[in-house]
C-alpha cells in the first residue's frame, strides 16, 4: 500500500524531492511542472508534445500509433519510385 500524498505546511505537494502546486492537473500543467499527474494518472515522463500538431499526447499511445501502419491496413501501399500512396487493389464493382 502506498503512502498518501498530503500538502506540506508550505501548501505544496512534495514528491520525490520535487514540490508541486497541485497533485492532479491538466496535461499542460503536468508538462510545465505545476501538477504532479493528470486525472488519468499520466506523469511528466509519460507525456510528450506532438511535433506535427503541437498537442500534448501520451508517449505510449503515440508510439503505438506510429507502429500501427493504418494506411497499409486500409489498402494503401507506397508504389516504387512514386511519392504517392496508391490503393493496392482496384474496386471491381461500382458503388
Domain positions in the chain are 13-67
**pLDDT of 15 higher than 70:** yes
Q: What is the pLDDT of residue 81?
A: 78
DSSP string of 22-64, one letter each residue: EEE--HHHHHHTSEEE-TT--BGGGEEE-TTT--EEEHHHHHH
Give the model confidence (pLDDT) of 32-63 as tens digits: 999 999 999 999 999 999 999 999 999 999 99
Separation CA 94–CA 74 (nearest Å): 19
More confident position, 56 or 1: 56
More confident position, 74 or 64: 64
Mean pLDDT of the chain: 88
Q: What is the pLDDT of residue 89?
A: 65
C-alpha cell at 63: 508510439
Give the model confidence (pLDDT) of 74-95 as tens digits: 767 776 776 765 666 666 677 6
Question: Is the Cβ–Cβ distance between 60 and 42 less than 8 Å?
Answer: no
Given the DSSP bridges, would you call strands 22-24 and 18-20 parallel, antiparallel or unpaired? unpaired
Amino acid at each position: 500500500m502506498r503512502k498518501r500524498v498530503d500538502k506540506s505546511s508550505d501548501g505544496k505537494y512534495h514528491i520525490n524531492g520535487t514540490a508541486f502546486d497541485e497533485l492532479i492537473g491538466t496535461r499542460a500543467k503536468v508538462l510545465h511542472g505545476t501538477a504532479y499527474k493528470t486525472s488519468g494518472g499520466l506523469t511528466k515522463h509519460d507525456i510528450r508534445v506532438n511535433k506535427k500538431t503541437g498537442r500534448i499526447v501520451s508517449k505510449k499511445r503515440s508510439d503505438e500509433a506510429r507502429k500501427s501502419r493504418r494506411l497499409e491496413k486500409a489498402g494503401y501501399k507506397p508504389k516504387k519510385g512514386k511519392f504517392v500512396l496508391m490503393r493496392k487493389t482496384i474496386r471491381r464493382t461500382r458503388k
